[in-house]
Chains A and B, each alone.
Chain A
Amino acid sequence: MSEFVKIKLKSLKATANSLSKAEHQLAVLEQNPTQFTPFHSQLNTIGLRPLRPTALEVFQVNLGKMCNQVCTHCHVDAGPDRKEIMTKETMETIIEVLKANPTFKIVDMTGGAPEMNPHFRWFVEEVSKLGIQMYVRCNLTIITANKKYNDLPEFFKKHKIEVISSLPFYSKNRTDKQRGDGVFESSIKALQMLNEVGYGKEDSELKLNLVYNPAGAFLPPDQSALEKEYKTALANDFGISFNNLFAITNLPVSRYLDYLITSENYEDYMTKLIDAFNPTAAENVMCRNTISIGWDGYIYDCDFNQMLELKVSNPTTQHISTFNASALQDRSIIVNNHCYGCTAGSGSSCGGAVA
């Protein structure tokens, strides 16, 4: 664990770590020293290859890699030193695409810290005018990081945005190990602020969902048992309520891949993922109803493929400026061995377990 507890202050990119390069990560993922079945062959055996979309429903937008935190497990390699953020022009193109393609039911905003993009509020207001449900992947600490963000709970409420936030554990020790010193305390404060404006109450239309992900080289435990524990602990210790807990598996990408390698857990972790391969989870992987847009407007099958720079397979519609819904609907999803993270055990998606 010692490698894991060392909180990074800089991104892999800023420290010129070779794993900051997508091709280097892909080379590691394809090495396969233990001769495991490659993910695409696994899909073959269950008749899912090529992997095809079921519908275009979730439009995930990565508003940029800039973040106020530098979490150890971050698959985006986000941090304050990352300057790649989405321009207003790209956002305008996205709005046009959303107008022309009413099949999208959800706009899921992620980052980095999406709220740090200076056009974040403008973008939300424009999507709001289209009447599409929005999710924001809010890291919580941004709300208390600076006065200018203190009104975010009110802003989220105004647009009825569903808030999805990481809280790796309901204790300080484990949370701070993964996300940095002081993160637990400021996350608790932010959750209380969200509760105050009406988020996370039972039956409230203002949904507040929390995300658990393991602080180490292991798989998440049972999602529903963990949700009960979170609810009891957060209510008893801090008077906090929330709606659902999503238990997410860490995928071997970027900083988490770096952690696995430096702590010599990579092979064991891959073996765990592969041994836990679940065909039902494979059928329900999130890329089948999601597309993911990068900060620079390129289109990917999911946020992980985005970080591995694997653009959608159809060359005619790889950028938002050439968005073509039917071509995207017909595409084959690009898979690689990191996909084992989505299909292990109860499966894992941006909405938690899928099987």
Chain B
Amino acid sequence: MYRYDEFDHRFVSERVAQFRDQAARRLSGELTEDEFKPLRLMNGLYLQLHAYMLRVAIPYGTLSGKQMRKLADVADKYDRGYGHFTTRQNIQYNWIKLEETADLLQELSEVEMHAIQTSGNCIRNVTTDHWAGAAADELADPRPVAELLRQWSTLHPEFSFLPRKFKIAVTGAPNDRAAVKVHDIGLRMHQNDAGERGWEVIVGGGLGRTPLIGYTVREFLPETQLLSYLEAIMRVYNLHGRRDNKYKARIKILVHELGEENFRAEVEAEFARQKELDVEVESRELERISNYFAEPAFETLPRLSTGYEAARAGDPAFAQWVRSNIAAHRKDGYAIVNISLKPEGGIPGDATSEQMRTVADLAERFSVEEIRVSHHQNLVLPHVKLDDLHEVWKVLAANGLASANIGKAGDIIACPGLDYCTLATARSIPIAQTISRRFADLNRQHEIGPLRINISGCINACGHHHVAHIGILGLEKKGVEYYQITLGGSSATDASIGTILGPGFSGDKVPDAIETIVNTYLNLRQGGDDSFLDVVRRLGHQPFKEALYAPA
């Protein structure tokens, strides 16, 4: 299980002490808001519509039962009994007081947690596959490399004042679950015919105002050269990246403006200059870090479990949940359990402190203490024995955590939107709630098949609407919320940016519009395997436009 090394311990404790002092000086008036704001943002503290919001880092989305229990305690003690899991695999608390934040951070540090690098123009927390170390299709656990990147970037003087924030995602599996093509840098592991592993290095992807799919600068980079290569990329970015205009400062704009080939040439030239450095250090470091992610002591189990098969045959609700929420584990006799935080009519990603404790208990009893947070705003128990699945499901069901809708119409991503967020132009949560109620029938959701609906409350796209099969963007015109719909996005291996379908809708018309789109798909598909995305890609927007904007 991942844990902090001693260096981090000291670093985090020092940061808490520093912040305590800074907050006290702000409260006494010694520091002005202009002076204090960058300091609080460096510690993940934002001021939102109703209160301060604290964004707590969950590196690689990996949590222990003990840490989850601490998150629950923090929710009760410093917030209002709940937290919001985000698309960045973090947790946000919505009702934080400045006066209490240092104490809160102190408590988090007791379980090796913090809120550093969740904000500002630094290399943000590296994100990764939420099934890392467990997925059947994985070549290697990406988390040691993600951690290497974190340690490399945390205090690197060259990288703490970048032109803009910088996001890296890593996956060790050929099937991309970490959305690597829509990050500033995405890394995907491949294996060549000789059985050697290497990284595909993708640069310049991103969402927000200018959504772009990343460009592959290197198809296959030998594993040991990663840091040198990334340094080369960061150097080119630091040198040429625009600092004069916030909206043009991300690396994606640089790649775009230089042109892909020129960008690649610059990076390769820089790389050639420094290639000789560090390779051995890098392998030694990686080996050391890998120990922190040592594989749990899995039991040797048969591939099939008779108890599990019997439960599935005898309990249709359990069987349905298994179909949507269970994924294949790389060890025989184990499974990955995906816990939906999207109950019918619920707030996507929100969990009560009680639910957090339930998940913590389950992790300790059934998943070698491990929990993951996914960028779909769900939770994962990565290592559950097939024999235990029925019991786990019963506990989840008793706590409102067994919605059988992972990857289905009800599994909606929604950012906090105008209900909480100061940058929002419209609400996102109520839209998610009404759509989820509209598709409440689970059998229908299963019949529809894979469908990703994502909602953002403004152009910043925290709800990843561009890469949704059906994306919804909340905007405002003269004080009235309205919603733009995009079709055909994906954040998976075949990543694409969705495009706008037509004129927007008022909030109350959105569920009807989504229903029309889904019904149109059902009429057009050729059998159950012909997914929504396949149909949109094959037939384009036209049939959906016709159905949606047909004169009444």
Partners in one complex: no
Q: Chain A residues in contact with chain B, CB under 8 A?
A: none
Q: Chain B residues in contact with chain A, CB under 8 A?
A: none
